[in-house]
Structure 1
Amino acid sequence: MRPHLALIEDDTDFALMCSSYLERAGFTVRWAADARAGKSAMHDGGIDLVVLDLGLPDGSGLELLRALRSTSRLPVIVVSGRGEETDRVAGLEIGADDYLVKPFSQRELVARIRAVLRRSEPPDVPVVLEAGALRVDTAAHRATVAGVPLALRPKEYALLELLARSPGRVFSAEQLLEQVWGASWQPSATVVEHVYRLRGKLAAVPTPAPRITTVRGFGYRLDP
């Protein structure tokens, strides 16, 4: 799956350059141009890491970081033109995972992001997801409904696991293509076909099973 980044940066040209490079490097980027939009982006449950500029037009990046650290350990890399030792120390002491002084190369930014993401990964503990009668064993890559195994192809399993991680959440076809197939440019018919097959296999189980609901105009969700 492509890591999702929040880029909080008020310099439009710099933000567009970073976003373009990061997208090509395999990330999905959500750009916020001020502190207000940045706060919303940081609290989006789908964000894996924040790249945060300190000089924002409507507030301090450090205050934004301080507020985030009161409730979350979401990884944050500060990027700033403030290169003095006191600024770097302040950012790190408040809770930044790394501090990068402008100007810097985009390759270095990508390397720093990947390093922080590696450090923040939780231990590889097997997880069993449950949604109603559905159980998905992520270690065994096996799904059952009321104990009845589902015979799933690899992409069918990956699609079901993603939906089961967030029951009730609506995923667009583009999000599913991006997170399951790693390529949002594929035709949406790919998702339609796999959802159709998954529905058939869930319906074939001789016991009430969760269903995949189409939310017209938005996407799909798993209803336990």
Structure 2
Amino acid sequence: MRPHLALIEDDSDFALMCRSYLERAGFTVTWAMDARAGKAALHEGGIDLAVLDLGLPDGSGLELLRALRSTSRLPLIVITGRGAEADRVAGLEIGADDYLVKPFSQRELVARIRAVLRRAQPPDTPTVFRIGPLRIDTAARQASCEGFLLVLRPKEYALLEMLAAAPGRVFSAEQLLDRIWGASWQQPATVIEHVYRLRGKLARLPVPAPRITTVRGYGYRLDP
């Protein structure tokens, strides 16, 4: 099935360019030129993700986003010519899954859409990973080592789960950002900080635990 996108954008030249590129990339695109048409397209259903311009002729895109988030968790990417940090933060706080400032490449838009759709997919059947003494329960979102529970923040847990799902495999910072943070507005330093904190928690366990190894120039892996 081709993912169905709602493109809510009032600039017709830009919208036609986006729609053409997205359709060639394997998406079905419904184009709406203003907030009213955008609401109608979203109300009809069958949309897998919305791409929303904040500057619409008949209202604020932020208001449309706020109204959508009051009833739905539909994946949504904000696009706009507004580069101010306040606009970006407002969109993200209201519930946008990602944010792109014009001008941007069509290739990047496709990559962002695919990343958001991946994150929105229902989780796989709950699984328990075991790497040496480390046990990760994906249903409970808990990690323990010989009965000692690790107290982890959500992103720390997600990082450990991703590494534990493929022990010995090296993941680059870019891969970790894409899978866990969406690689949208975070920096590689975010990964470095979370790896540092996670290593500290593993090291403070009263029993030997797997370790996160830095492979210089490549990324990180989990070793038993």
TM-score normalized with structure 1 length: 0.55
* Structure 2 letter corresponding to 1:112: R
Spell out, residue by residue over 1:169-217, the C-alpha distance to the aligned partner (whole angstroms, 9 max, x if none): xxxxxxxxxxxxxxxxxxxxxxxxxxxxxxxxxxxxxxxxxxxxxxxxx
Residue 74 (structure 1) aligns with: 74
Q: Indicate the residue corresponding to 1:35 in structure 2.
A: 35
Over the residues paired in the alignment, what is the CA RMSD in angstroms? 0.8
Amino acid at match of 2:16: L
What residue in structure 2 maps to residue 122 of structure 1? 122
What is the aligned partner in structure 2 of residue 44 from structure 1? 44
Where in structure 2 are the equivalents of 1:1-224 lying within 5 Å?
Answer: 1-124=1-124
Separation (CA, whole Å) in 2 of partners of 1:119 and 1:49: 12
* 1:147-189 deviations in Å (ceiling 9; x for gaps): xxxxxxxxxxxxxxxxxxxxxxxxxxxxxxxxxxxxxxxxxxx
Give structure 1 regions of 4+ aligned residues with deviation exceeding 4 angstroms.
none
Rounded Cα–Cα distance in structure 2 between residues aligned with 1:85 and 1:65: 18
Residues of 1 paired with 2:44 and 2:50: CA distance?
A: 11
* Residue identity (%): 87
**2: CA distance between counterparts of 1:124 and 1:31?**
32
Q: Alpha-carbon deviations, 1:81-131, whole Å to 9, x = none?
A: 001110100000000000000000000000000000000001245xxxxxx
Give unpaired runs (5+ residues) of structure 1.
126-224
Describe the SS at the equivalent of 2:50.
Answer: strand
- Three-state SS of the structure 2 residue aligned to 1:74 is coil
Task: For residues 31-68 of structure 1, give each alpha carbon's deviation from its aligned partner in whole angstroms, at most 9, with x where no partner exists.
Answer: 00000000111223210000000000001100000000
Aligned residue number for residue 182 of structure 2: none
Residue 44 of structure 2: SS of its match in structure 1?
coil
Aligned length: 125
Match in the other structure for 1:177: none
Q: C-alpha distance in 1, partners of 2:19/2:44? A: 18
- Aligned partners of 2:60 and 2:66: how far apart in 1? 10
SS in structure 2 of the partner of residue 73 of structure 1: coil
The 2-side partners of 1:34 and 1:7 are apart by 10
TM-score, with length taken from structure 2: 0.55
Q: Aligned partners of 1:6 and 1:70: how far apart in 2?
A: 18
